[in-house]
Amino acid sequence: MPVETGTDVKGDAMEELRNFHISSLEDEGDEQDEEVDGVNNGDDDDDDNDDDDEHESVTLGFVEKPKNPRFLLRHFFPSKAGGLPAWLDPINLPAKGSSLCDFCGQPLQFLLQVYAPISENESAFHRTLFVFMCPSMTCLLRDQHEQWKRPPEKASRSVKVFRCQLPRSNPFYSNEHPRYDGTDKPSGAGAQLCSWCGTWKGDKVCSSCRGARYCSEEHQVMHWRSGHKTNCQHPGISSVPSSINHSTDGFSSADVHKVASKTSWPEHEIINEDEADYDTEGSKDYENAKSLVTGNRVDETFSSLLNSFEQGDGDRKSWATFQERICKAPGQVLRYNRDAKAKPLWPMASGRPCKADISKCSHCGANRGFELQILPQLLYYFEVKNDPDSIDWATIAVYTCAASCHGSLGGYKEEFAWVQLSSPSVIVP
């Protein structure tokens, strides 16, 4: 994750990130060794988010409105949430089948991306994880059932993670760090993107104007109904300026959304800080921490989780540990730790995976290890309503290839996400 400060020291921040050591995962450790197979019933003293976790080096992610949206473009290697993805490899985007929700068939929506290079891996000098999900809670409930499937069964998913990495010398970016002085540019243009969502590759072309491009028939229909039907018949009026909408080569989400879909989540920059900076006696006081978030989605989410605990003491014990850690920094939306023995901070004992539930890398066969988790506080910043049918989760844990395999240059490899809902017993078969 990038270290973010003011724009006047972004160069130093990039260098600091380069020197940050991320432990190798060659030793897969004892990830969740003490958890039982299948659905944990919450009554076992499994790992209880071991006390040793208190001493792990965890990086917290916070979101804020970008001071300069231009710095969220791909050649600045951003970590960001909402808006449009800043594709690291701008040409070889995920295949169409991977870009769709496996339940409703609609294109997935961009959730967030985290820039997480690995200093000791030359092929991962640049490395970014991208998380997408279907905004339908119905699909997420069905996803809960599918994620328990183990190979060779193929699980259908509504939450997908893609990893992309590049060596320092590559055809897309300079070998030098960004200067943030207005002269930084990508080395070439990217793929032409969907004129409606601005996210996925636009393989379909409007047969009338031959200018608008789409990732799916659904998005073509949406764009047509939103005004392209009229603009398409008048060449002098374009609802999709080709100069900004058709490629990944350098325009902010705001540029595209002026003329296309307005359904993406609000764009935020992800700022990271060390959790140890919050490990003070004052920050451990729950009532004090609670006052910092009164009235927002964080409180609502916590209350909803607490009220849903009917499975037994295991869930309440996990919740107490989760609450104690989170309330040190209530605004956190992301927790990152790629250490070999790192584990997610589970809100509940039930609904946790065991090692066998985490599929191996489908590209090299290596085990996957935990790397980051996404907290429900993000939904508050996305202005998602707290309605019964609104998207919601307790946590999303992301597991990636321990070897961070690379194969051919660039491209995107699908990784694994485990979603824990606040009511794990509510599963749609």
Q: pLDDT for 159-206, tens place per residue? A: 999 999 999 999 999 999 999 998 888 888 899 999 899 999 999 999
What is the four-CA torsion angle of 130, 382, 159, 41, rounded to 10 degrees? Answer: 120
pLDDT of residue 164: 97
Residue 288 belongs to what H/E stretch? helix 286-292
The residue with greater pLDDT, 67 or 259, is 67
What are 347-377's pLDDT values in tens digits? Answer: 999 899 999 999 999 999 999 999 999 999 9
pLDDT of residue 158: 98
Integer Cα distance of 65 and 83 in angstroms:
11
- Phi and psi angles of residue 335, each rounded to the nearest 5 degrees, phi first: -125, 130
Quote the mean pLDDT of the chain: 79
Q: How confident is the model at residue 236 (pLDDT cuts 50, 70, 90)?
A: low
pLDDT of residue 94: 95
What are 256-304's pLDDT values in tens digits? Answer: 434 457 789 999 999 999 999 998 654 444 444 433 343 445 555 555 5
Query: In Å, how far from its chain's centre is CA 240?
Result: 27
Integer Cα distance of 244 and 255 in angstroms:
7
Which of 398, 338, 361, 344 shows the shortest CA–CA distance to 25? 338
pLDDT of residue 68: 93
What is the pLDDT averaged over residues 309-323? 77
Tokens representing residue 368 in the block: 């996957």
pLDDT of residue 132: 98
- pTM of the complete model: 0.81
Which of 239, 283, 287 shows the shortest CA–CA distance to 261? 239
Query: In Å, how far from its chain's centre is CA 157?
Result: 15
Q: Any long-range contacts for 236-239 (C-beta under 8 Å, 24+ apart)?
A: 238/209, 238/211, 239/195, 239/212
